[in-house]
């Protein structure tokens, strides 16, 4: 996990290829959330103040390997310019003679943003020639895009074969330090909270965590597959019938390892996610056949909060229900408050989980909030992240 940081490299007079993650949500050409741009500012400023010229590179959306004006990085360049208080010109492409000339013309303290890397299919194909063309623009590679570190793409993995040093940006270094802390030398006991819709998305994660934690709390739609595996009648709740055997195996694995795996004891049930009337809080053995569980109930929130009391480390990914709908938000918000009050070091990741913590007003009491979704999950699953493995070891 220990990688060379951008702070350890002499950048004066160098051109830096800075891979960022500016894959921001857009409403037309308007950025609706610039969290990822803001998160990259410390690294951008560090490089500029160290006397480097900076070539920024990112993907945006899924343009399917060809130019698409809808996915231009122009809004991101404009927002970054606002945040920095200096111009951030946008190149017409990310490779080619015009881009090379613009990169070579940069002086210390100047910036250039490349156009969307995914306008070329070679980016997602981890193409060597494309990576070499990107590498030719600069003399130092800095990766600050942890959220994309699970992708073996040309600007993340192949480029490091042709451009060294290859080091971690400040955001990347913070992510690695926080995630390393929860697995390398965690404060015990470690509890993990998992939610979200599908158990199939989290089976590998649950499997890995049972060897790393002292307890697991499972909510959200995925909990109903576990409840069904235990023989409960779950009404019309979300279930993955083809995963019942795997769920039973996980339950047995946790039992054999002596790891408490807590499931909901009550749920908020309704006819569907859009329902505003006819809501009932019922025990998991009493879910009516015509209703579906859409949130964990207050007794479950209480039990989960009690389990977290005194935790040394808490890892949380995934909401406890359809929390974006107000009638089904209480469970997730209750867990957010419990995590913030546990007294241990809490790490959360995933867009919905971050939104829940913000909605609960407890962001400042969370130890670390990861900018990543897929990369966060793959790290917790114990997988090697190509974008991290490619960087210089400390």
On whether the CB atoms of residues 271 and 253 are closer than 8 A, the answer is no
Distance CA 355, CA 381 (A): 23
Catalytic-labelled residue, pool 36, 151, 202, 262: 36
337 is catalytic: no
- In the sheet that holds 215-218, the strands lie side by side as 261-262, 215-218, 190-194, 313-317, 345-348, 368-369
Catalytic residue among 302, 312, 351, 367: 351
Active site (annotated) includes residue 198: yes
Active site residue 36: yes
Annotation says 248 is catalytic: no
Helix 330-340 with 351-360: angle, nearest 10 deg = 80
> Which is the catalytic residue, given 83, 198, 337, 365?
198
Q: How far is the C-alpha of 387 from the C-alpha of 25, rounded, in Å?
A: 23
DSSP for 123-187?
HHTT-HHHHHHHHTT-SEEEE--GGGTT---TTTTGGGGTS--EEE-HHHHHHHHHHHHHHTSPP
CA dist 224 → 17, 295, 298, 363 (Å): 46, 11, 17, 29
Report the candidate in 189, 217, 366 with the shortest Cα–Cα distance to residue 302: 217
Distance, CA of 292 to chain centre: 28
Give which of 339, 348, 345, 340 is closest to 317, Cα–Cα: 348
What's the N-to-C CA distance of the chain in angstroms? 9
Give the CB-side neighbour count of residue 100, counting CA atoms within 13 A: 8
CA dihedral 208, 199, 146, 127 (to 10 degrees): 100
Active site residues: 36, 198, 351, 374
């Amino acid at each position: 996990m220990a990688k060379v940081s951008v702070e350890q490299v002499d950048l004066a007079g160098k051109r830096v290829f800075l891979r960022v993650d500016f894959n921001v949500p857009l409403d037309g050409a308007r950025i609706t959330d610039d969290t990822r741009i803001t998160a990259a500012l410390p690294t951008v400023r560090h490089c500029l103040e160290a006397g480097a010229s900076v070539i920024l590179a990112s993907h945006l959306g899924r343009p399917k390997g060809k130019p698409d004006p809808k996915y231009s990085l122009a809004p991101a360049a404009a927002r970054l310019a606002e945040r920095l208080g200096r111009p951030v010109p946008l190149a017409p492409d990310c490779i080619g003679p015009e881009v090379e000339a613009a990169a070579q013309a940069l002086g210390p303290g100047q910036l250039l943003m490349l156009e969307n890397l995914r306008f070329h299919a070679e980016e997602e194909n981890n193409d060597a020639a494309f990576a070499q063309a990107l590498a030719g623009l600069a003399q130092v590679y800095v990766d600050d895009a942890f959220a994309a570190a699970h992708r073996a793409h040309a600007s993340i993995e192949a480029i490091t074969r042709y451009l060294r040093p290859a080091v971690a940006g400040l955001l990347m270094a913070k992510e690695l330090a926080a995630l390393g802390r929860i697995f390398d030398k965690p404060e015990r006991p470690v509890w993990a909270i998992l939610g979200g819709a599908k158990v199939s998305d989290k089976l590998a994660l649950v499997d890995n965590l049972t060897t790393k934690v002292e307890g697991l709390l499972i909510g959200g739609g995925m909990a109903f597959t576990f409840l069904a595996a235990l023989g409960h009648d779950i009404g019309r709740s979300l279930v993955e019938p083809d995963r019942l055997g795997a769920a039973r195996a996980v339950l047995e694995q946790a039992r054999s390892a002596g790891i408490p795996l807590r499931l909901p004891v009550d749920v908020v049930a309704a006819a569907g996610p859009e329902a505003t009337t006819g809501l009932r809080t019922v025990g998991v053995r009493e879910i009516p056949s015509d209703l579906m569980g859409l949130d964990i109930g207050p007794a479950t929130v209480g039990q989960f909060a009690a389990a977290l009391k005194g935790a040394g480390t808490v890892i949380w990914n995934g909401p406890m229900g359809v929390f974006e709908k107000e009638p089904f938000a209480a469970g997730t918000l209750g867990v957010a408050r419990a995590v913030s009050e546990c007294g241990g070091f809490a790490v959360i990741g995933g867009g919905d989980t971050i939104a829940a913590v913000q909605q609960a007003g407890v962001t400042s009491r969370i130890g670390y909030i990861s900018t990543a979704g897929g990369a966060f999950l793959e790290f917790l699953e114990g997988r090697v992240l190509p974008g991290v493995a490619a960087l210089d070891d400390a």
